[in-house]
């Protein structure tokens, strides 16, 4: 079978939109009657005011700050964001953001199953099937993505091997011992496992992994291709977040991501005004409404993810709306010396042209009135001093071409930069601290 849900994945666009409008009105009514937050926020709008998808644009968006604020009231810890009685909550999860207080996310058994079903779409689209033995090289803790991946793999009929409570070497031995042939990973940790395996004299391609789905961080195409080369396997991306769930995934055509319709209503809005839907090929901010989750209703959640809008057709036959790529987080975009800069561009350059670079970090500082942008890079320890010097010069040149900014490149000793498993923090803007 080609699709996880052959009916939903091939519906005509108009039918999809009709279903989404009807689901939107349902979740809107539910939010207004069951969540204190939305009772107050949406006081002046009634479900009957939403006759078309255009009417949705009149409804105010929701952002993370508001969720945090409303979680400070009773009942602890979800406060006014709860959409069901607290006795019906069966699962606690929280966001893994690096700044500010986390958002606590309640799931009922029903809403958790809704999330798993969404993930089944994502994994099936990435070619996960019952013959796969899926290794997850993490302890999942209170973070949501790998739990969803775990249970959705089970629902698909795969065999799941949880790889928590082991170090990287232990995980490599486990992959070999049990002959895992599929993995869920973060892009960073995928690269790290490969690097460690090579140090142990093992070629990561010899693991015989067929499929890998990445989660947790934005993944430039160059990083995805690098993982494919290292493991000789198919690597797939998806996008999502703890609050709205994963809402788009990559099919085997590997040309962009399909929005998981009609589970989500996704608007891709002009980033200046946040009003108008962008045209195909343009960059916009993704505003997401999960349409079937009652425990933690979200109406027009501003994900702050910048994406390029794509087509609503694909060689795989699915009719769902596509996005071409994830550009990055709006919070990570910076003006540096008047130039708009996205850290993802640096990763793209490094993964594409500098395979000798094993880890890196971007630091922006302020000296007097001047913004300085530093690239700290760690290269393969087997490189000669001369090659290290050449890499340093080439890095400076390539980054200048890609970003229009001059970087100060600093070569760091092997093992001195931090290594990440769940969420990489390779970009540090210290301008406020170094003024």
- Binding interface with Zn ion (CB under 5 A): 251, 253, 314, 316, 318
Cβ neighbours, 10 Å, residue 178:
13
User: Shortest distance, CB of residue 258 to Zn ion, whole angstroms?
Assistant: 6
Instruction: Please state whether beta strands 234-236 and 211-214 pair in parallel, antiparallel, or not at all (unpaired).
Output: parallel
**Cβ neighbours of residue 155 under 8 Å, at least 6 residues apart?**
116, 117, 120
CA 120 to mean position of chain CA atoms:
16
Cis bond before residue 385 (omega within 30° of 0) = no
Residue closer to Zn ion (CB basis): 316 or 417:
316
| Pairwise CA distance, residues 187 & 192, whole Å | 9
DSSP 282: -
Structure-token match 């700290």, residue found: 376
Residue closer to Zn ion (CB basis): 192 or 318:
318
User: Shortest distance, CB of residue 282 to Zn ion, whole angstroms?
Assistant: 20
User: Shortest distance, CB of residue 86 to Zn ion, whole angstroms?
Assistant: 40
User: Shortest distance, CB of residue 239 to Zn ion, whole angstroms?
Assistant: 15
Residue closer to Zn ion (CB basis): 36 or 316:
316
User: Shortest distance, CB of residue 235 to Zn ion, whole angstroms?
Assistant: 16
Strand partners, 429: 364
Residue closer to Zn ion (CB basis): 27 or 120:
120
Which ranges of 270-429 would DSSP assign to H, the alpha helix?
Answer: 343-353, 385-403
Residue closer to Zn ion (CB basis): 65 or 280:
280
Nearest to 104 by CA among 123, 79, 129: 79
Collapse the DSSP code of 327 into the 3-class scheme (helix H, G, I; strand E, B; otherwise coil) and give the result. Answer: strand
User: Shortest distance, CB of residue 253 to Zn ion, whole angstroms?
Assistant: 5
Residue closer to Zn ion (CB basis): 103 or 260:
260
Burial class (CB in 10 A: 0-12, 13-18, 19+), 142: middle
Residue closer to Zn ion (CB basis): 6 or 100:
6
User: Shortest distance, CB of residue 152 to Zn ion, whole angstroms?
Assistant: 19
Cis bond before residue 373 (omega within 30° of 0) = no
């Amino acid at each position: 079978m080609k699709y996880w849900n052959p009916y939903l994945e091939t519906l005509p666009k108009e039918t999809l939109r009709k279903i989404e409008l009807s689901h939107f009105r349902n979740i809107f009514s539910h939010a207004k009657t069951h969540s204190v937050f939305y009772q107050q926020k949406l006081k002046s709008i009634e479900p009957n005011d939403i006759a078309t998808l255009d009417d949705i644009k009149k409804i105010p968006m929701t952002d993370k700050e508001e969720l945090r604020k409303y979680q400070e009231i009773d009942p602890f810890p979800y406060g006014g964001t709860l959409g069901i009685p607290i006795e019906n909550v069966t699962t606690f999860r929280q966001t893994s953001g690096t700044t500010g207080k986390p958002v606590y996310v309640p799931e009922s058994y029903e809403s958790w199953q809704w999330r798993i079903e969404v993930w089944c779409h994502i994994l099936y689209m990435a070619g996960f099937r019952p013959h796969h033995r899926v290794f997850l090289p993490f302890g999942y803790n209170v973070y949501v993505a790998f739990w969803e991946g775990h249970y959705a793999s089970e629902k698909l009929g795969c065999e799941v091997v949880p790889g928590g409570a082991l170090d990287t070497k232990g995980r490599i031995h486990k992959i070999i011992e049990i002959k895992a042939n599929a993995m869920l990973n973060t892009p960073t940790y995928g690269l790290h496992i490969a690097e460690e395996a090579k140090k142990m004299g093992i070629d990561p391609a010899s693991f015989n992994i067929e499929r890998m789905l990445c989660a947790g961080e934005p993944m430039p195409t160059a990083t995805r291709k690098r993982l494919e080369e290292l493991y000789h396997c198919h690597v797939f991306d998806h996008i999502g977040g703890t609050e709205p769930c994963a809402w788009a995934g990559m099919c085997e055509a590997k040309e962009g991501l399909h929005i998981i319709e009609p589970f989500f209503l996704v608007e891709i809005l002009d980033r200046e005004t946040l009003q108008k839907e962008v045209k195909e090929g343009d960059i916009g901010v993704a505003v997401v409404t999960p349409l079937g989750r009652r425990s933690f209703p979200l109406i027009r959640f501003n994900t702050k993810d910048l994406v390029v809008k794509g087509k609503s057709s694909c060689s795989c036959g699915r009719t769902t709306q596509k996005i071409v790529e994830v550009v990055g987080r709006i919070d990570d975009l910076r003006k540096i010396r008047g130039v708009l800069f996205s850290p993802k561009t640096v990763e793209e350059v490094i993964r594409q042209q500098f395979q000798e670079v094993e880890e890196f970090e971007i630091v922006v500082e302020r000296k007097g009135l001047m913004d300085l942008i530093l690239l700290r890079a760690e290269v393969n320890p087997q490189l000669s001093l001369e090659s290290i010097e050449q890499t340093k010069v080439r890095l400076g040149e390539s980054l200048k071409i890609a970003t229009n900014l001059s970087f100060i490149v600093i070569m760091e000793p092997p093992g001195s930069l931090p290594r990440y498993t769940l969420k990489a923090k390779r970009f540090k803007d210290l301008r406020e601290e170094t003024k």
